[in-house]
């Protein structure tokens, strides 16, 4: 796999597919972690005299312009972090994009408007994606794939465009793959995996694969209530994927056969409704009130999870332990992050809400071994799936 060091970029227009899918509150960026993660590759190319054309997506617009998902605020923040003006194209591959591309000089940086404003970006039709990739290719001389958060998508700017230009992998994606290889090729043991988030269905593939790799699975978040129901507990009004109960039962049985420890909460924070100001309190998993829903792991579970992480040498974490955006239900995620730091293990935070929680709860990112920029991509890699955006650069 070629790296940017293998490309002669001076004076060349370099199309960099980055992941700048940041949370927006109006025009305000509430977490710029993904922008900061993209900086090293962009800077390295700029300093070598490249004319850098950055492309990215934001949110899920329906293949047409939508001001709610414009990358204009991202262009402003990218410029602040780079310490230079970043030109902004008001379309993706049209007149504005061509004008911006042609006006770039050596070392300068531009950002295209949201690639998902084009229906061809996410199309399942090869010809429609290919037509957009052809238009992208007219903007640049070289391609660098550095959007780890999108490499599991067969999209025009991720999968089809690299075939049309000399290409290389970006530094961020290279680092992400190297880290994930540590989790799949002879990880230091004990190897613990912590999974949270709301839906167990989002994690079925990775659970299936990890039952043959990990020593210990620690389960929290909303997905845990399907596990608790599978074990025969009543879960009140907590979130439940009833159609997954039999699958979860089979995983529990398989884990017992294969000697993989599955750790579930022993108590939860149960609330009268999904609200920060709702009446709430701890409840043992055997006694969750019928009219309450679990919105976080409880204090005894926090201590249990910390104990189960204390001897780990490798830990992968994906998904919060509760509704951390609401302070009454942030304690479990905060305690888990602290336990990871205290364990001294090589810790990988698997992107998405987990990475956002680390930052919003005030933890030093440097205290973790690695914070991924791609939750979905990380999970699919750990499932053993091929990643189209990586295959396209091979």
Q: How many CA atoms within 13 Å lie on the side-chain side of 309? A: 26
Whose CA is closest to 13, among 108, 79, 115?
A: 108
Residue 199 falls in the annotated catalytic set: yes
Residue 153, marked binder: yes
Q: How far apart are the first and last CA of the chain?
A: 5
Residue 331 falls in the annotated catalytic set: no
Strand 293-297: give its sheet, edge to edge: 280-284, 267-271, 293-297
What size, in residues, is the chain? 394
Query: What's the CA gap between 357 and 296, in Å, rounded?
Result: 14
Residue 20, marked binder: yes
Which of 220, 298, 350, 352 is catalytic? The answer is: 352
Q: How many CA atoms within 13 Å lie on the side-chain side of 138? A: 13
Q: Is the peptide bond before 113 cis (omega within 30 degrees of 0)?
A: no
Residue 203, marked binder: yes
Retrieve residue 45's tokens: 């190319």
CB atoms within 10 A of CB 136: 27
Residue 385 falls in the annotated catalytic set: no
Residue 362, marked binder: no
Which of 43, 79, 376, 385 is catalytic? The answer is: 376
Query: What's the CA gap between 369 and 382, in Å, rounded?
Result: 17
Residues with Cβ within 8 Å of 165's Cβ and at least 6 positions away in sequence, in order, are 15, 137, 140, 141, 142, 143
Residue 83 falls in the annotated catalytic set: no
Residue 51, marked binder: no
Residue 130, marked binder: no
Retrieve residue 293's tokens: 């829903």
Which of 43, 199, 313, 359 is catalytic? The answer is: 199
CB atoms within 10 A of CB 279: 10
Residue 181, marked binder: no
Residue 352, marked binder: yes
Residues with Cβ within 8 Å of 178's Cβ and at least 6 positions away in sequence, in order, are none
Residue 21, marked binder: yes
Residue 351, marked binder: yes
Residue 353, marked binder: yes
Q: How many CA atoms within 13 Å lie on the side-chain side of 186? A: 0
Which of 34, 51, 129, 308 is catalytic? The answer is: 34
Q: Which residue numbers are catalytic? A: 34, 199, 352, 376
Annotated binding site for ATP: 203, 294, 325, 351-354
Binding-site residue positions: 19-21, 34, 57-60, 116, 153, 203, 294, 325, 351-354
Question: Which residues are annotated binding-site positions for substrate?
Answer: 19-21, 34, 57-60, 116, 153
Numbered residues of the known binding site for (2R)-3-phosphoglycerate: 34, 116, 153
């Amino acid at each position: 796999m070629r790296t940017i060091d293998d490309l002669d970029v001076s004076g060349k227009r370099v199309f960099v597919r980055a992941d700048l899918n940041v949370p927006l509150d109006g025009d305000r960026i509430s977490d710029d972690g993904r922008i900061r993660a993209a900086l090293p590759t962009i800077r390295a190319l700029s300093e070598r005299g490249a004319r850098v054309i950055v492309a990215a997506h934001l949110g899920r617009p329906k293949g047409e312009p939508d001001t709610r998902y414009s990358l204009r605020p991202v262009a402003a923040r990218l410029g602040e972090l780079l310490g230079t003006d970043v030109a902004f194209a008001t379309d993706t591959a049209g007149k504005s994009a061509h004008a911006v591309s042609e006006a770039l000089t050596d070392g300068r940086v531009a950002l295209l408007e949201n690639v998902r404003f084009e229906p061809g970006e996410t199309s399942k039709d090869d010809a429609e994606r290919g037509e957009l990739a052809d238009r992208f290719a007219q903007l640049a001389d070289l391609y660098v794939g550095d959007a780890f958060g999108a490499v599991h998508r067969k999209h025009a700017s991720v999968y089809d465009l690299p075939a049309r230009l000399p290409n290389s992998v970006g530094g961020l994606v290279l680092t992400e793959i190297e880290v994930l290889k540590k989790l799949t090729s002879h990880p230091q043991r004990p190897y613990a995996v912590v999974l949270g988030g709301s839906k167990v269905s989002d994690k079925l593939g990775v659970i299936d694969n990890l039952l043959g790799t990990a020593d210990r699975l620690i389960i929290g978040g909303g997905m845990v209530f399907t596990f608790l129901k599978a074990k025969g507990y009543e879960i009140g009004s907590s979130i439940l994927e009833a159609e997954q109960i039999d699958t979860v039962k089979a995983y529990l049985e398989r884990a017992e056969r294969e000697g993989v420890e599955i750790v579930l909460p022993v108590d939860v924070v149960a609330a009268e409704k999904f609200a920060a100001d709702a009446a709430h309190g701890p409840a043992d998993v055997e006694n969750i009130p019928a009219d309450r829903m679990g919105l976080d792991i409880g204090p005894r579970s926090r201590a249990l999870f910390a104990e189960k992480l204390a001897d780990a040498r490798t830990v992968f974490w994906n998904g919060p332990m509760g509704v951390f955006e609401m302070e009454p239900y942030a304690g479990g995620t905060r305690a888990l992050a602290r336990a990871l730091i205290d364990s001294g293990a090589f810790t990988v935070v698997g992107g998405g809400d987990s990475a956002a929680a680390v930052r919003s709860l005030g933890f030093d990112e440097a205290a973790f071994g690695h914070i991924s920029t791609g939750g979905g991509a990380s999970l699919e890699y750990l499932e053993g799936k091929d990643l189209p955006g990586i295959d396209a650069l091979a």
